[in-house]
Chain A
């Protein structure tokens, strides 16, 4: 089945630094990937839609300059949290659907837990 890999699974950084999280579709191509954020014991909140070869589409209230998204290939999207602060600490999850299968079934990555000190 379709597999989405996220890296790193856990990252701790100092306040003010930037952190990059990768989302890869391992055995399929994804022209679109989605980035979610999840706080403890809360639901997933869609942050942005990552579009291969074009700009990401951000949800209302999500800072574009804070959360940089790059989707340079059909199998890789990256989320960079710039100048991270403790309030950016969260569980970040990406998802993707096979562009060719037409099944419309999203596969989620295992998530990346960011802790900003």
Chain B
């Protein structure tokens, strides 16, 4: 079946550097994408979303880029902080609608001082 996947399972960065987390999706019909942050033992926390009619969206210290041509999604975190350490998941809306999400495998971000 179609699924969302990630290129890198683990990413280690120095505090203050920029982080880029990548995600490849396979369902060309998906039109809504979300990035979630999950800390250990907690539920996913919404970071930023983007619809397929856009290729870039910015939030506070975060930017999501969408390349529909190659079905690629990325999350950029500026000036990464220790509090950013977590697992990051990309998700896409499933065939059941916007709220029926399909999650990618996840990338662990480790921020070192």
Q: What is the 8 Å Cβ interface bit string for chain B, positions 88-113, against chain A (1 contact, 0 not)?
A: 01000010101111111110000000
Question: Residue A25 at the B interface, CB < 8 A?
Answer: no
A contact residues, range: 20 to 34
Residue pair A106, B46 in contact (C-beta under 8 Å): yes
The smallest beta-carbon distance between A23 and chain B, in angstroms, is 10
A43 touches B89 (CB 8 A): yes
Tell me if B's interface is mostly helix, strand, loop or mixed: strand
Count of A-B contacts judged by CB separation below 8 Å? 53
Interface size for B (C-beta < 8 A) is 22
CB contact between B105 and one of A32, A36, A43 (< 8 Å): that residue: A43
Partner of B44, one of A44, A45, A57, A113: A44
Cα–Cα, bound, A6→B36 (Å) = 18
The residue that A46 contacts in the complex, of B89, B101, B106, with Cβ under 8 A, is B101
Across the interface, do B46 and A105 meet the contact criterion of CB distance under 8 Å?
yes
Give the nearest-CB partner of A10 in chain B: B41
CB distance from A97 to the nearest CB of B (A): 5
- Verify B102–A46 contact, CB threshold 8 A: yes
Q: Contacts of B32 on A, CB cut-off 8 Å?
A: 104
Interface residues of B (CB under 8 A from A): 32, 34, 36, 41-46, 49, 89, 94, 96, 98-106
14 A-B contacts (beta carbon < 8 Å): A4-B43, A32-B99, A43-B104, A43-B105, A43-B106, A44-B103, A46-B102, A95-B101, A104-B98, A104-B99, A106-B46, A108-B43, A109-B43, A110-B42
